[in-house]
């Protein structure tokens, strides 16, 4: 999901997503849990200390973490995903791996991904990015490059030309940063 916590807050509270929004505790030593695109455009990112955020943007809208809301939205997303396959691995509150390898019903991966993405947006007003790959590494890497609100494929045709160019310290589950 794209900017999941802040996106949930925007939907729930009917806030203008064009203003900089951060989700996190309002303490000097706390850090950003999530921020929207407007905040990212100011140089704010997840994990940044709140005091730094306030220096960059004193008028930032700082919202408290609301796990009940995020879990409620997560359940609604999962309900949509389970319409397409039961073979799902949840890796966090806002990330799932769907396996279609044993499902002949969906032959075109890109069309299926676009349909899922559109259905989540239409029903919940939440944006997601979808990566398609033959394994977790390729799918996760592809989802990173699909952001925001896109679909990206890493397959045998573009694996070498694309993945081999990624610095090892930026690779999913490999480097110090990972994706």
Element counts in the chain: helices (H) and strands (E): 7, 7
Classify burial at 39, counting beta carbons within 10 Å of its beta carbon; exposed 0-12, middle 13-18, buried 19 or more. buried
Cα separation, 30 vs 126, whole angstroms: 26
Q: How far is CA 85 from CA 65, 94, 103, 132, 135, in A?
A: 31, 17, 8, 15, 16
3-state secondary structure of 94: coil
C-alpha 163/C-alpha 169 separation (Å) is 12
Radius of gyration for the alpha carbons in the chain, expressed in angstroms and rounded: 17
**Active-site pick, 12, 95, 109, 114:** 95
Alpha helices per DSSP H over 27-132: 37-40, 50-56, 67-81, 109-124
For the question of residue 95 being annotated catalytic, the response is yes
Catalytic site residues? 95
């Amino acid at each position: 999901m794209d900017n999941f916590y802040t996106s949930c807050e925007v939907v729930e509270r009917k806030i203008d997503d064009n203003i900089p929004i951060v989700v996190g505790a309002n303490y000097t030593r706390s850090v950003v849990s999530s921020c929207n695109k407007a905040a990212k455009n100011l140089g704010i990112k997840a994990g940044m200390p709140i005091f730094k955020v306030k220096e960059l943007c004193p008028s930032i809208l700082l919202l408290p973490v609301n796990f009940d809301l995020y879990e409620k939205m997560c359940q609604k997303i999962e309900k949509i995903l389970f319409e397409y396959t039961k073979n799902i691995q949840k890796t966090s509150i806002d990330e799932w791996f769907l396996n279609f390898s044993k499902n002949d019903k969906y032959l075109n991966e890109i069309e299926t991904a676009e349909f899922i993405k559109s259905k989540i947006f239409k029903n919940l007003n939440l944006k997601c990015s979808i990566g398609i790959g033959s394994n977790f590494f390729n799918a996760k890497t592809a989802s990173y490059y699909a952001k925001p609100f896109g679909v990206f494929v890493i397959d045998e045709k573009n694996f070498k030309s694309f993945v081999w160019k990624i610095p090892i310290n930026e690779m999913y589950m490999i480097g110090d940063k990972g994706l």
